């Protein structure tokens, strides 16, 4: 694509969901990538570890990728970087702030065989070029330090991508969203704004992060037993307030969870976290202290089944156990889709006698995303010519689109897009383009893209069970050569299995006896008949159709 053809923006993830954030901007045939995040699975994604954007078309044009621009260090914006490096199989120029790059380096420590990126550390206010990309970083406040928006000045007009942001004007690090900088960009003329939509449905303004500190300190001052605070491992500002409160009441922190230990070490080393590391207690030494002297800072706020918090609730943690008189504070948001897991964790802890405090009952969490009134102010400052809401479920995107229209953006210049959609900016005007094929890529351990078909099979096995039929045939004699074997798991109780499996074997044998001899020369045909016979049988006997696995072997 040449400059005369326009600048193309393509959305690969993050539209219609919370996570998997990724978009591309193409100028003169060169591609810039804004964020490369993961989506964490919920209960319907059986066995899946991570969900990525489908960038197969991008991998085919790997040599055209000019650089990666990361807005901040949350995993839903940087977590897929190793997979991108692997698939493109080349060194990439990666731009981000100091903490963002440090978190990327920590992730890549486990990928020793990958091409290493060329990191470029940026500060808010920096303006730099990479190939045809003229980029300016703008300071934003979020629930993690060192967040930035990016302004791309292109031959066809200016594109601004906010990343995740809120309008906290008194953040702990003293670095609020730079509205004056955004105003200057607005005066210059923002032709296309891509802005965070997660909080668009929430009325009013987001409360400052620092207001949580007093609540946490109050609970800690009244607690008599062990205190556990669960939060995201990247939420440095939240953990800072927990540590400040712990110091004030004389409790020593115990960091639990691999990512929590790693991220707090990084944040402390880089100066983003202020605490005396000598006060920290190793989890293996907690028995040396009275429970009232400790505060456990843990992962697991989303009910992750193998997190420290979940193991404490089930009594399976090797070193820590929740009990009567203990206090647990869930100091984070509830990610949509995790409700059942979180409530299960809360109930397990409550059953053991713990008092559980969460955002639904106390002021222990504030959002990292601008609410409705904040977004109205932001749009009035930037005054974009065209607008696309990004980062949010579809309801969030629609709510943000309405805000854009209410603040003066013409309805025909507000675009609600989905993953795979493309827009073209040409001479300051935006139109829809053809788009790119896209889907979810499911990562299961070492398996790449296990795909929706496999997930459907797993779901079916989980819901209806599995029936395995082993049939031995003689393709030369064109007949069955041994007794049929039928077994099952999860279809019927074992006490009922003998009689019903004997009937299932007879159903298969009856099906095979009715076949012409020539059919026994084709093992695939025999497999189909076995599946049909057992499908009819189980439907008639149980009203359900389990996953049927035929094994046809030649004598």
Residue 453 inside a domain? The answer is: no
35 Cβ contact list (under 8 Å, min separation 6): 14, 21, 22, 23, 69, 70, 71, 77, 78, 163
Residue 494 inside a domain? The answer is: yes
Q: Are strands 127-130 and 133-140 parallel, antiparallel or unpaired?
A: antiparallel
Boundary residue ending a domain (294, 324, 357): 357
Residue 402 inside a domain? The answer is: yes
The CATH number of residue 485's host domain is 3.10.20.580
Q: Are residues 128 and 48 in the same domain?
A: yes
Q: Are residues 23 and 47 in the same domain?
A: yes
Check residue 3 and give its pLDDT.
40
What would the DSSP string read from start to end of 479-542?
A: EE-S--EEEEESSS-HHHHHHHHHHHHHHHHHHHHTS-GGGGG-HHHHHHHHHHHHHHHHHHHH
Check residue 453 and give its pLDDT.
55
- Strand pairing partners for 24? 10, 33
d(CA 553, CA 122): 63
CA quadruple 542, 544, 547, 548: dihedral, nearest 10: 50
Q: Are residues 320 and 384 in the same domain?
A: no
Q: Are residues 371 and 430 in the same domain?
A: yes
Residue 110 inside a domain? The answer is: yes
Q: Are residues 143 and 215 in the same domain?
A: no
The CATH number of residue 306's host domain is 3.40.50.10710
d(CA 162, CA 143): 14
Upper half-sphere CA count for residue 461 (Cβ side, 13 Å): 15
Q: What is the mean pLDDT of each run of 10 residues along the chain (555 residues)?
A: 74 92 97 93 57 90 96 95 94 97 94 93 98 98 96 98 95 95 98 98 94 93 92 91 95 91 93 92 91 91 76 80 88 72 84 88 91 98 98 96 97 96 97 87 58 60 83 89 88 73 93 90 89 91 85 86
Question: Can you list the alpha helix ranges (DSSP code H) found in 250-371?
Answer: 258-270, 308-314, 339-351
Q: Is 392 left (phi over 0), alpha (psi -120 to 50) or beta?
A: left
C-alpha separations of 394 from 14, 390, 417, 418 in Å = 10, 9, 9, 9
Are 35 and 71 in contact by the 8 Å Cβ rule? The answer is yes
Q: Are residues 308 and 341 in the same domain?
A: yes
Q: Are residues 183 and 215 in the same domain?
A: no
Residue 457 inside a domain? The answer is: no
Domain that holds residue 433: 3-204+367-443
Q: Are residues 490 and 414 in the same domain?
A: no
Are 253 and 354 in contact by the 8 Å Cβ rule? The answer is no
Q: Are residues 328 and 222 in the same domain?
A: yes
Q: Are residues 311 and 429 in the same domain?
A: no
Q: Are residues 57 and 172 in the same domain?
A: yes
d(CA 486, CA 467): 7
Check residue 496 and give its pLDDT.
65
Check residue 43 and give its pLDDT.
52
Boundary residue ending a domain (357, 382, 414): 357
d(CA 41, CA 199): 22
The CATH number of residue 167's host domain is 3.60.15.10
The count of domains in the chain is: 3
Residue 449 inside a domain? The answer is: no
What distance, in Å, lies between the first and last C-alpha atoms of the chain? 60
Residue 487 inside a domain? The answer is: yes
Q: Are residues 69 and 50 in the same domain?
A: yes
Residue 42 inside a domain? The answer is: yes
């Amino acid at each position: 694509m040449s400059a005369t053809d326009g600048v193309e923006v393509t959305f690969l993830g993050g539209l219609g969901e919370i996570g998997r954030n990724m978009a591309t901007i193409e100028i003169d045939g060169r591609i810039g990538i804004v964020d490369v995040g993961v989506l964490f699975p919920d209960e319907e994604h059986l066995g899946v570890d991570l969900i990525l954007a489908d960038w197969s078309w991008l991998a085919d044009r790997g040599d055209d990728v000019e650089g990666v621009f990361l807005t901040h260090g949350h995993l839903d914006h940087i977590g897929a970087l190793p997979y991108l490096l692997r698939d493109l199989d080349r060194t990439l120029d990666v731009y981000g702030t100091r903490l963002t790059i440090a978190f990327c380096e920590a992730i890549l420590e486990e990928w020793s065989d990958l091409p290493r990126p060329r990191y470029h550390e940026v500060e808010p206010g920096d303006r730099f070029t990479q190939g045809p990309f003229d980029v300016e970083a703008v300071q934003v406040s979020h629930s993690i330090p060192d967040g930035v928006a990016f302004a791309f000045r292109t031959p066809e007009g200016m594109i601004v991508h906010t990343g995740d942001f809120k309008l906290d004007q008194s953040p702990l690090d003293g670095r609020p969203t730079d509205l004056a900088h955004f105003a200057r960009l607005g005066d210059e003329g923002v032709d296309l704004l891509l802005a965070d939509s997660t909080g668009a449905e929430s009325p009013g303004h987001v409360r400052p992060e620092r207001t949580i500190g007093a609540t946490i300190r109050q609970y800690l001052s009244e607690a008599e037993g062990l205190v556990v605070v669960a939060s995201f491992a990247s939420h440095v500002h939240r953990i800072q307030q927990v540590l400040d409160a712990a110091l004030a009441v004389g409790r020593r922190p115990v960091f639990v969870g691999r990512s929590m230990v790693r991220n707090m070490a990084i944040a402390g080393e880089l100066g983003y976290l202020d605490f005396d590391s000598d006060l920290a207690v190793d989890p293996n030494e907690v028995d040396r202290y009275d429970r009232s002297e400790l505060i456990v800072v843990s992962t697991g706020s989303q009910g992750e089944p193998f997190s420290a918090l979940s193991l404490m609730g089930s009594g399976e943690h090797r070193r820590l156990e929740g009990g009567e008189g203990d206090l647990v504070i869930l100091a984070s948001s509830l990610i949509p889709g995790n409700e059942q897991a979180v409530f299960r964790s809360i109930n397990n802890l409550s059953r053991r006698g713990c008092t559980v405090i969460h955002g639904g009952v106390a002021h222990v969490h504030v959002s990292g995303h601008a609410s409705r009134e904040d977004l109205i102010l932001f749009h009035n400052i930037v005054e974009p010519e065209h607008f696309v809401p990004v980062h949010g479920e579809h309801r969030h995107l629609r709510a943000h689109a309405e805000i854009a229209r209410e603040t003066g953006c013409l309805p025909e210049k507000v675009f609600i897009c989905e993953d795979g959609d493309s827009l073209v900016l040409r001479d300051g005007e935006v139109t829809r383009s053809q788009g790119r094929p896209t889907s979810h890529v499911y990562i299961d351990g070492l398996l790449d893209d296990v795909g929706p078909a496999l997930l459907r099979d797993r779901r079916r096995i989980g819901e209806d069970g599995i029936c395995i039929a082993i049939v031995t045939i003689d393709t030369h004699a064109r007949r069955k050569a041994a007794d049929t074997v039928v077994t099952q798991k999860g279809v019927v109780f074992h006490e009922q299995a003998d009689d019903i499996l004997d009937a299932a074997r007879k159903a298969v044998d009856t099906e095979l006896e009715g076949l012409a001899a020539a059919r026994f020369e084709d093992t695939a045909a025999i497999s189909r008949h076995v599946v049909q016979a057992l499908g009819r049988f189980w439907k008639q006997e149980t009203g359900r159709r389990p996953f049927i696995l035929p094994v046809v072997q030649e004598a």
